[in-house]
Amino acid sequence: MSDQSHETEHHSAGGEQDSMTVHEENSIHVEKWEGIWIRIAVGMTVVFIAAITIAALSFGISVPGATARVNPATLNEPGSPFANPGIRELAPGKYEVYMVAQTWNFVPDRLEVPQGSEVTFYLTSRDVTHGIKLAGTNVNMMALPGQVSTLKATFDEAGTFNYICHEYCGYVAGAPIGHHTMYGQLTVLPADGTSETAQVTE
């Protein structure tokens, strides 16, 4: 028997009061504080999603994308953009960096660009899963074998920025090498040619 017919039966047999009792039994009772908590949680979720949408659409903040596939076994072969990893100047103020992450270093592990440069990073892994985090910037992406991750960044402030592997990738037992020694450094040279303004970012 459906709820509707059940309710009608009660209404016709016992009057209005019975009908109300059935209504209360079928409805979900939400405590006052529970209701407040649900409303706040839903409101926060809506605000957070709206903020992320605004950041993506109005400020161009986005997560790094996978642009291409590459065979990790043939990275060194002629024709592969990763055969000679490093930095290349495409135009004044525009650079591209092809970088290989491998146990346990980045190639290249030293980069220099002038202040104000726009740099596009192309990153892949030769072996296991790695990651890169350029401290003090939004450059933060995964390095996966078989995938080319890409991300664009503009460096308006002169200084020295360390980059590290942020995905645990193992170590050699008893040897001082491993995930914790996998790092590099990007130097943003001041536009006026001096180096006094350079600062180290941990």
Partner 1 sequence: MKREPDTPMGTVVLIAIFLIMTVVLWFNAYFIVLSRGAN
Q: Which residues bind partner 1 (CB under 8 A)?
A: 32-33, 37, 40, 44, 48, 51, 55, 59-62, 64, 136-139, 151-154, 156
Min dist. Cβ of residue 150 to partner 1 (A): 10
Min dist. Cβ of residue 61 to partner 1 (A): 6
DSSP character at residue 128: S
Instruction: Kindly tell me which of 114 and 178 has the beta carbon lying closer to partner 1.
Output: 114
Min dist. Cβ of residue 60 to partner 1 (A): 3
Largest CA distance in the chain: 94
CA dist., res. 91 & res. 47, Å (int): 41
Instruction: Kindly tell me which of 36 and 200 has the beta carbon lying closer to partner 1.
Output: 36
Min dist. Cβ of residue 8 to partner 1 (A): 29
Instruction: Kindly tell me which of 129 and 201 has the beta carbon lying closer to partner 1.
Output: 201
Helix %, strand %, coil % of the chain (to 5): 30, 35, 35
Cis peptide before 37 (omega within 30 of 0): no
Single out the residue of 82, 59, 66, 35 nearest to residue 143, CA to CA. Answer: 66
Rg (CA), the chain: 29
CA-based torsion, 7, 11, 12, 14: positive or negative: positive
Instruction: Kindly tell me which of 13 and 59 has the beta carbon lying closer to partner 1.
Output: 59
The count of C-alpha atoms lying within 13 angstroms of the C-alpha of 42, restricted to the half-sphere facing its C-beta, is 6
Min dist. Cβ of residue 29 to partner 1 (A): 12
Instruction: Kindly tell me which of 55 and 73 has the beta carbon lying closer to partner 1.
Output: 55
Min dist. Cβ of residue 118 to partner 1 (A): 10
Instruction: Kindly tell me which of 53 and 84 has the beta carbon lying closer to partner 1.
Output: 53
**What is the H or E stretch that residue 87 is in?**
strand 86-91
CA dist., res. 34 & res. 40, Å (int): 10
